[in-house]
């Protein structure tokens, strides 16, 4: 992790008055075959990816991950720029800013390696859409670290180029992990939200940046007491807490994605529906989920992180549903609401359920009538339902 060491040295040179806080991040996994980059692929080509940050800053660094690769990934150069849109086009505003790795434009990531660029001066505004352009040398087509559910278009252009007018579009992120901001120590912080597809944003608008975490971020920035907090979306589609599902389980990735995330002051745990949806015994699964959540709470408290539990939303009408699984959901939610073990509750169940039939989603919030994922209106409701006072403690 040479680049990680270099980044820390850069901050110490400023008399340790600054710290890194992540203003944007995404959960990473080994990319499944059907989510790999389309032709012309990544090797020897340029990839422009767009992300929308939380708070801004004047000095930034980029974290890249090769964690799930068994081969090296060669990067010839990386630039940052302000994107012209939330992802609907590859265009940028003004000029781009090159990044360096230990003073060099290029870097080769070893298998399993995570690297952080040197700090660079870059004027980043709150909720700015940032275009991250990576020029690849040799890169595997089948062995890739990334985030499948970007809900945001990325663009692949042939060759080592800044010309993206004929680029191929794909709705996935590859290799990018976090944007870090150097900020005054103790004055900024991050909220890490670990979850599944409902946090990842299935049902939101592609290139709309309207997940519940985005709604929460915008609200925090408008509040004087919380404007220095970022919201980090660590959702993975199909994710489980205990076993199975897609991507690393929440249990296995919790340390990396939450506890080791730069600048985290608060955590939100909103998981469990996929575990229950595949369970043979809802009550037994509920007990295992509660044990996992208790372990997460203990670890967070040991690091001085406030941690909040999100209740599991109803799913009657989906093929996940049966009476046993519904009983398990009610058990978990009752424990979240009444045990007092979390530092607070975010009651997504209460915010999104049908008032007439509380074991199903409000029909006004349905995405593709799957009775599991909310639509954009539902995500707006979720983000608006969160008490901002949770983040002033």
Tens of pLDDT along 253-286? 999 999 999 999 999 999 999 999 999 999 999 9
The answer to whether residues 181 and 190 touch, using CB atoms and an 8 Å cutoff, is: no
Angle at 216 (CA atoms; ends 321, 190), nearest 5 degrees: 105
| Burial status of residue 159 (CB atoms within 10 A of its CB: 0-12, 13-18, 19 or more) | exposed
> Is 22 a residue whose pLDDT tops 50?
yes
- Checking DSSP bridges between strand 168-170 and strand 154-157, what pairing results, if any? antiparallel
pLDDT given for residue 3 in this prediction: 44
DSSP states of 72-134: -EEEEEEEEEEESSSSSS--EEEEEEE--BTTBS-EEEPTT-EEEPPPEEEEE-TT-EEEEEE
Average pLDDT of the chain?
96
**For 132-145, b where at least 16 C-beta lie within 10 A, e where not — what string?**
bbbbbbebbeebbb
pLDDT given for residue 10 in this prediction: 55
> Side-chain half-sphere of 5: how many Cα atoms within 13 Å?
3
Rounded CA-CA distance 286/283 in Å is 5
The answer to whether residues 324 and 281 touch, using CB atoms and an 8 Å cutoff, is: yes
Nearest to 116 by CA among 191, 53, 177, 26: 177
Mean of the pLDDT values across residues 85-111?
Answer: 98
Nearest to 162 by CA among 206, 102, 85, 98: 98
229-261: pLDDT as tens digits = 999 999 999 999 999 999 999 999 999 999 999
Rounded CA-CA distance 245/248 in Å is 8
pLDDT given for residue 9 in this prediction: 42
DSSP states of 280-348: S-HHHHHHHHHHHHHHHHHHHHHTT-EEEEEPPPP-BTBTT--HHHHHHHHHHHHHHHHS--SSEEE-H
300-354: pLDDT as tens digits = 999 999 999 999 999 999 999 999 999 999 999 999 999 999 999 999 999 999 9
Nearest to 320 by CA among 279, 378, 375, 366: 279
Q: Interhelix angle for 323-338 vs 282-302, to 10°? A: 30
**Cβ atoms within 10 Å, residue 161:** 13
Rounded CA-CA distance 53/124 in Å is 9
The answer to whether residues 40 and 158 touch, using CB atoms and an 8 Å cutoff, is: yes
Rounded CA-CA distance 367/323 in Å is 23
Where in 16-56 does DSSP place strands (E)? 18-25, 29-30, 46-52
- Going by the DSSP 8-state scheme, the letter that residue 365 receives in this structure is G
> Is 194 a residue whose pLDDT tops 60?
yes
* Confidence band for 8, pLDDT divided at 50, 70 and 90: very low
Rounded CA-CA distance 49/80 in Å is 10
Rounded CA-CA distance 250/72 in Å is 27
Contacts of 330 (CB under 8 A, 6+ apart): none
Rounded CA-CA distance 126/58 in Å is 11
* Confidence band for 16, pLDDT divided at 50, 70 and 90: confident
């Amino acid at each position: 992790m040479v680049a990680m060491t270099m980044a820390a040295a850069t901050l110490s040179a400023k008399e340790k008055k600054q710290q890194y806080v992540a203003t944007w991040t995404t959960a990473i996994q080994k990319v499944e075959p059907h989510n790999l980059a389309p032709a012309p692929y990544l090797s020897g080509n340029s990839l422009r990816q767009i992300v929308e940050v939380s708070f801004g800053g004047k000095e930034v660094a980029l974290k890249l991950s090769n964690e799930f690769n068994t081969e090296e990934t060669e990067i010839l150069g990386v630039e940052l720029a302000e994107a012209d849109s939330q992802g609907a086009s590859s265009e940028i505003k003004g000029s781009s800013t090159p990044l360096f790795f230990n003073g060099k434009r290029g870097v080769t990531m070893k298998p399993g390696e995570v690297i952080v660029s040197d700090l660079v001066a870059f004027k980043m505004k709150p909720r700015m859409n940032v275009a991250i352009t990576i020029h690849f040398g040799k890169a595997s087509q089948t062995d890739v670290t990334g985030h499948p559910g970007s809900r945001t278009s990325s663009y692949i252009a042939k060759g080592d180029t800044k010309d993206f007018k004929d680029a191929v579009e794909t709705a996935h992120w590859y290799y990018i992990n976090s944007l870090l901001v150097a900020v005054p120590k103790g004055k900024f912080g991050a909220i890490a939200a670990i979850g599944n597809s409902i946090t990842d944003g299935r049902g939101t608008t592609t290139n709309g940046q309207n997940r519940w975490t985005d709604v929460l971020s915008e609200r925090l920035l408008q509040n004087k007491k919380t404007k220095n907090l970022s919201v980090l979306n660590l959702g993975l589609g199909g994710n489980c807490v205990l076993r199975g599902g897609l991507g690393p389980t929440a249990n296995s990735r919790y340390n990396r994605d939450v506890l080791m995330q730069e600048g985290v002051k608060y955590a939100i745990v909103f998981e469990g529906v996929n575990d229950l949806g595949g369970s043979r015994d809802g009550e037994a699964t509920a007990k295992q989920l509660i044990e996992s959540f208790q372990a997460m709470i203990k670890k967070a408290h040991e690091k001085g992180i406030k941690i909040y539990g999100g209740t599991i939303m109803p799913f009657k009408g989906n093929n996940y549903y049966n009476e046993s699984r519904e009983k398990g959901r009610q058990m978990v939610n009752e424990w979240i609401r009444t045990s007092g073990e979390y530092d607070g509750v975010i009651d997504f169940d209460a915010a999104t359920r049908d008032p007439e039939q509380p074991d199903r989603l409000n029909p006004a919030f349905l995405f593709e009538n799957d009775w599991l994922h909310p639509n954009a209106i539902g995500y707006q409701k979720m983000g608006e339902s969160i008490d901002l006072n949770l983040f002033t403690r």
